[in-house]
Amino acid sequence: MPERIKHKPLDIDKVKPPKAEIHIITDQCKGCGYCIQFCPKQVLEESKEINARGVHPPKIVDESKCILCSFCTAVCPDFAIYTTEKKCAEGC
């Protein structure tokens, strides 16, 4: 639970953060690094591979940490990354 919330929310047992699926269109990336730097959960990091444009595109470290804030989708100048909600089976 984040430190700024002093009281435990009443529906904390029922509400779960959504599961996200991150899609990276590697060859459109120009390697500005905004998605890596400004991700609130540090889900992305720079990869070792080089794409068609000669830069290092981001790669996913841990997709389960993503909370679907979609900041990376909004801040990407090259339309190279987007997130969708993962539809999961019952019980997850």
To another protein, the closest distance from the beta carbon of 27 in angstroms equals: 8
Selection from 91, 44, 32, 33 nearest residue 69 by Cα: 44
- Write the CA distances from 12 to 9, 45, 55, 68, 89, integer angstroms: 5, 30, 42, 18, 20
The mark string for 41-80 relative to another protein (x by CB under 8 A, - otherwise) is --------------x---xx--x-------x--xxxxxxx
Q: Where does this chain bind another protein (CB under 8 A)?
A: 21-28, 30-34, 37-38, 55, 59-60, 63, 71, 74-80, 82
